[in-house]
Amino acid sequence: MTPAGLEISGGETVLFWVIAPLMVLAALGLLFVKRAVHAAMCLVFVMVSMAILYIAQEAPFLGVVQVVVYTGAVMMLFLFVLMLVGVDASDSLTETIRGQRWIGVLIGIGLAVILGGVVANATFPPAAGLGGGDPGGVANPQALARVLFGDYVLAMEAVGVLLVTAAVGALVLTHRRRLTPKQTQESVADRRIKALPDGVVLTPLPPPGVYARSNAMDTPALGPDGEQVPQSVSRVLRIRGQERPAPEGPAVVVSTSSTRGATSSTPESERDA
Amino acid sequence: MNDVIGLAPWLIGIPLIGAAILLLGGKATDRWGHWLGVAASAASGVIGFILMFRMIGTPAEERSVDHHLWTWLSAGGLDVDLGLRLDPLSLVFVMLVTFVGTLIHVYSVAYMDHDPHRRRFFAYLNLFVAAMLTLVLADSYLLLFVGWEGVGLASYLLIGFWDTGRPSARENAVAAKKAFVMNRIGDMGLIAAMALLFAGTGALDFATTLSDDTLGSLSEGTATAIGLCLLLAACGKSAQFPLQAWLGDAMAGPTPVSALIHAATMVTAGVYLMVRSGPILEAAPTAQLVVVIVGAVTLLFGAVVGTAKDDIKKALAASTMSQIGYMMLAAGLGPAGYAFAIFHLLTHGFFKAGLFLGAGSVMHAMGDQTDMRRFGGLSRFLPITWITMGLGWLAILGIPPFSGFWSKDGIIEAAFIPVEGQPWRAWVFGTVAVLGAGITAFYMTRLFFMTFGGRRPRWTENQHPHEGSPLMWWPLVFLGVGSAALGLVLGVGGTFVTWLEPVVGHAEHHEPVLPVPVIITSTLVVVVLGALLAFRMYAMSLVPEEAPRGSFLTRAARRDLYQDAANETLVLKPAHGVARLLQVGDRDVVDRGWSLLPQVLSWFGAVFRKAQSGYVRSYAAGMAGGVLVIAVVAWLVVGLGGAQ
Amino acid sequence: MDITNYVVLAAVLFAIGATTVLLRRNAIVVFMGVELMLNATNLAFVTFARMHGDLTGQVLAFFVMVVAAAEVVVGLAIIVTIFRTRRSASVDDVNLLRG
């Protein structure tokens, strides 16, 4: 069924030695980069490289699936969630659990040594290969499909159910119940009308004054009676004390401080609302 | 017989329904409740009469009928059928219980007239009648046990009837509890006897267990054990030595109760049990001997205590104990004694009930005074009571032709019948019986003359004794006539003995060690001597109002021969000691030992708690480390590449 | 080149993934570590399939991918929920089961 013996071509050797160190580097990036987004990019690189290795290893279908499912769907999901959680939420790399870092490093190295050691010491049969890209060979996707929908059809169905369940589960988990009534334009308008007796101004507030001397937003406008209108200056500026008094003019001049004191009781938050 | 047997369950049913109505009906039945109680008891009596007359018309060998009602228990190999046994023996009891019971019901209507809880009293009395009839009509030990417990309950409730919860009523509560607890000891004996019987024969009904085949298969040791257990039960219920202490205190209950339960019927249930179980006892001569000894000891015990008591009811209670001792003695003598045990039981039921009701009448007249030293000279004021109690007095003395003579004399004669191989028995028990008769004559004469005799009344101030209502003295008259004539009617020609023969078996005629006329004469001489002595001491001379110190024996008898002190020392103190020991052991060994376990566990918990940091990464490190360790171990064990 | 090099690469990637799980605190990065471990096993599966000339390895790898996809969906949903209530994606903050 399969050609006895498998020679690994020179091209593949080169491919491996180019890709493998890069993959390890990218994987290490997962350990050392600060930002989760960068870690995700590293992982994307590892996965795409993995797809290439699959194709090189006579698994073209899996290579494509790897790109579509992992890089295309799973990693995108990761990125979405990262955006939801906050892209720039960088992760401090200082360890908080005492001894965890050394334990982790030791276990990592230990795993690598043990697994590598086992692989190195095991005696494998001579590689058989899958018959390359030969249309009659077992490597082509039709053969895989035959196995999947022949021997493993029940598992396929079960996995399908699992996927649906997971999708519904995710919906249920992330569903947020609305605790307050939904705000509509109508309800906002009603609320403001009802607040009218409390001194809320319905109309747009007057814009700041524009004078020959300066047309900054930090100068209050003058009303028709020549009075200064404090609400015309942004609330932020007023709180910071960066407001500038209006220039003296032919109109009646009123001390700014008394004006401010007299009108400061007017609620002004509506400007921002 | 079979056409009226269907009435038998109603003997029990009617009083039971009466009790239920009175207990559940509440205050609504207060006005007519006592008459319902009387009616229920009387209805039972009428049914008893019907059954009795039908039985008299039946041939002797067909008189024993088992009336099956329904299957009670069916569990594995145990099938207990609930049924009633009607035979001459049980019908004697039915007549006694219903007739005397009805008279006492009537008496109580007047006696309890002023009691606010009269309805409850009649409910308990009806309950008692139902339970007592269950006891005597049962066709198996198990149903008998139901009745046995029922009468115990009724007795407990009625002794404590006047326990109002106030400190002054403490005596009633204590007396009720004492009776209850001592009866439980006896009940334990009955349960043990049933267990042994079931283990030995596989059945509990009389028909099977008492048959010759079944008993033949029992070893003598088993039969002795069963007999002794039954005796323990009888001792508890009938206040026989050594479980006699409760009866005197039980007099705290209303006097009709003392008359019905603690004189005429319930306390004789032990004798019934002995006679009913006669075949078992006959298979165990040792047990029989113990029965006789218990009877003899109690006979003397009660008689001696009776001589010193000044409380009229307690003196009568001691007398009851003594008279039941006679019955027990007779029951232990085998077929020769059974009939006379029951005969004496019957006559005693009449004359002792009469004496108690008479005492109640005296107390009623004297404002609930019970101290005989405060009576005296009452014969002029209470003529009916005087005459009826006089009849009872003559009856208990055994003066011919009054009823006690016929029954007691039979017992004394039976006691003198020699037993093969043990010639001492006839002499010892015969002498005890005669001696007991003498002491009985002494204390009863003392009681009679201290109450009615004497010219100078020793009353407390402002007492105007007079007879009670007809409801009270008519029962006295009936019982007095019974005391006088019953023995004559049933005893002449051995009518009663013949009547019981189908049940207790025919007794071979044995000659006593002394000729019969000699026994009768000497007994009468002893009785007359005792009576004359008492007459001289209490009728001819003045009775001091305060009891003199008296000899050592008098003081001992006054304190019931130190029975309470003996119980205290022999039973209570060791039991307290054991309880205290167990308590200390439980606290210091068991409890401490067990509390050590949680301490150790909580220490382990405190240690391992630290591992539960709550950090997922620590747990993950643990898992990964575990994988690593397993991999290393596997590698070392299997060896590198060893899988090849 | 020997085909076992692929397996060694898989082992190294797996170890790195495991270390990531142990050392990083951001739940999302921890998740990525898990994904890396799954991918490493997939590489081993594919390599063994080729080594033995048997497609079963590839089938298994396929199933691992599908299950991993499902796992990611649910896992990320949990992370989002936790983040929503606790304003943090650090696995160390979720330690209510401390003994």
What is the tens place of the pLDDT at every residue in C55-89? 889 999 999 999 999 999 999 998 888 888 887 77
Higher pLDDT, B467 or B120: B120
Residue A258 has pLDDT above 50, yes or no: no
pLDDT at residue A226 greater than cutoff 80: no
Q: What ipTM was estimated for this complex?
A: 0.92
The answer to whether the beta carbons of residues B368 and B379 sit under 8 Å apart is no
DSSP C81: H
Closest-CA residue of A relative to C31 is A78
- Residues B118, B121, B123: CA angle, nearest 5 degrees: 115
CB contact under 8 A, C21 and B620: yes
- pLDDT tens per residue, range B238-251: 888 888 888 888 88
What pLDDT is attached to residue B191?
93
Q: What confidence tier does A132 reach under pLDDT thresholds 50, 70, 90? A: low
Task: Please classify residue B520 by burial: count the beta carbons closer than 10 Å to its beta carbon, then call 0-12 exposed, 13-18 middle and 19+ buried.
Answer: middle
Domain of residue A223: give its range.
201-271
| Alpha-carbon span B498 to B67, nearest angstrom | 23
Kind of pairing between the strands at A228-229 and B78-86: unpaired
For B641, the closest chain A residue by CA position comes to: A122
Each as own residue / partner, the long-range contacts of residues B548-551 (CB below 8 Å, 24 or more positions apart, any chain) are B550/B308
Residue A109's Cβ-side half-sphere holds a number of Cα atoms within 13 Å equal to 5
pLDDT per residue as tens digits for the range B145-192:
999 999 999 999 988 888 777 877 888 888 888 889 889 989 999 999
From the list A220, A226, A213, A265, the residue with the least C-alpha distance to A245 is A220
DSSP string, A168-233: HHHHHHH-----SPPP-HHHHHHHHHHTGGGT---SPPPPPP--SS---TTS-EE-TTS-EEGGGS
SS (H, E, C) B145-196: HHHHHHHHHHHHHHHHHHCCCCHHHHHHHHHHHHHHHHHHHHHHHHHHHHHH
b/e map B498-514, b = 16+ CB within 10 Å: ebbbbbbeebeeeebee
Q: What are the boundaries of each domain within chain C?
A: 4-92
Q: What is the pLDDT of residue B254?
A: 87
- Integer Cα distance of A45 and C11 in angstroms: 18
Asked if residue A186 belongs to a domain, the reply is no
Least confident of B134-148, B286-300, B427-441, B491-505: B491-505
For residue B79, report the phi and psi dihedrals to the nearest 5 degrees. Answer: -120, 115
The whole-number pLDDT of residue A21 equals 95
> CB of C73 within 8 Å of any CB in chain A?
yes
Cβ of A107 within 8 Å of Cβ of C3? The answer is no
Instruction: List CB contacts (< 8 A) between C33 and chain B.
Output: none
Contact B624 A107 (CB under 8 A): yes
| Rounded mean pLDDT, B213-225 | 84
Whole-angstrom distance, CA of residue B626 vs CA of residue B633: 10
Fold assignment, C4-92: Helix Hairpins (1.10.287)
- The pLDDT assigned to A269 comes to 44
Q: Is the pLDDT reported for residue C35 higher than 90?
A: yes
CB contact A31 to B (< 8 Å): no
Could you tell me if A71 and A20 lie in one domain?
Answer: yes
Could you give the number of structural domains in chain A? 3
Query: Under a CB-based contact definition with an 8 Å cutoff, are residues C32 and A39 in contact?
Result: yes
Q: Touching A: which chains, 3+ CB pairs < 8 A?
A: B, C
What pLDDT, on the 0 to 100 scale, is given for residue A272? Answer: 44
CB atoms inside a 10 Å sphere around CB A41? 16
Residue A68 lies in a domain: yes
pLDDT digits (tens, 9 = 90+) for B348-401: 998 999 999 899 888 888 887 888 888 877 888 888 888 898 999 999 888 888
Q: In the prediction, which pLDDT does A273 show?
A: 39
Mean pLDDT over each residue of chain B, to the nearest integer:
86
Q: Indicate whether A18 and A71 sit together in one domain.
A: yes
CB–CB of B613 and A121 under 8 A? no
Chain B interface, Cβ < 8 Å to A: 613, 615, 617-618, 621, 624-625, 627-628, 631-632, 635, 640-641, 643-644
CA distance B283 to B217: 11
In a domain, A162, yes or no: yes
Nearest in space to A63 (alpha carbons), one of B215, B290, C43, B314: C43
A96, A118, A123, A124: which to substitute to probe chain B, counting the most B Cβ within 10 Å? A118
- As a whole number of angstroms, the distance between CA B602 and CA B606 comes to 6
On whether both A162 and A233 belong to a single domain, the answer is no
Residues linked to residue B78 through DSSP beta bridges, in sequence order: B75
* A227 within 8 A of A235, measured Cβ to Cβ: no
Lookup: tokens for C78: 């949990």
pLDDT for B607 beyond 70: yes
Q: Which of A80-94, A168-182, B215-229, C37-51 has the highest mean pLDDT?
A: C37-51
Contacts of B352 by beta carbon, 8 Å cutoff, 6+ apart? B259, B263, B264, B316, B319, B320, B323, B392, B396
What's the CA gap between B515 and B413, in Å, rounded? 9
Residues in chain B: 644
* Inter-chain touch A24–C8, beta carbons under 8 Å: no
Contact state of C18 with B624 under an 8 Å Cβ cutoff: yes
A261, pLDDT greater than 50: no
Q: For an interface test with C, give the residue of A44, A49, A62 to mutate (most C CBs within 10 A).
A: A62
Q: Using the predicted structure, report yes or no on whether residue B287 has a pLDDT greater than 80.
A: yes
Q: Does the pLDDT at position B580 exceed 90?
A: yes
Q: Which residues contact B596 (CB under 8 A, 6 or more apart)?
A: none
- A120 contacts in chain B (CB < 8 Å): none
**In chain B, % of residues over pLDDT 70:** 98
Q: Give the chain A residue whose CA is nearest to the CA of B621.
A: A104
**A143 CB within 8 Å of a chain C CB:** yes
Q: Using a CB-CB distance cutoff of 8 angstroms, which residues of chain B are in contact with residue A122?
A: 641, 643
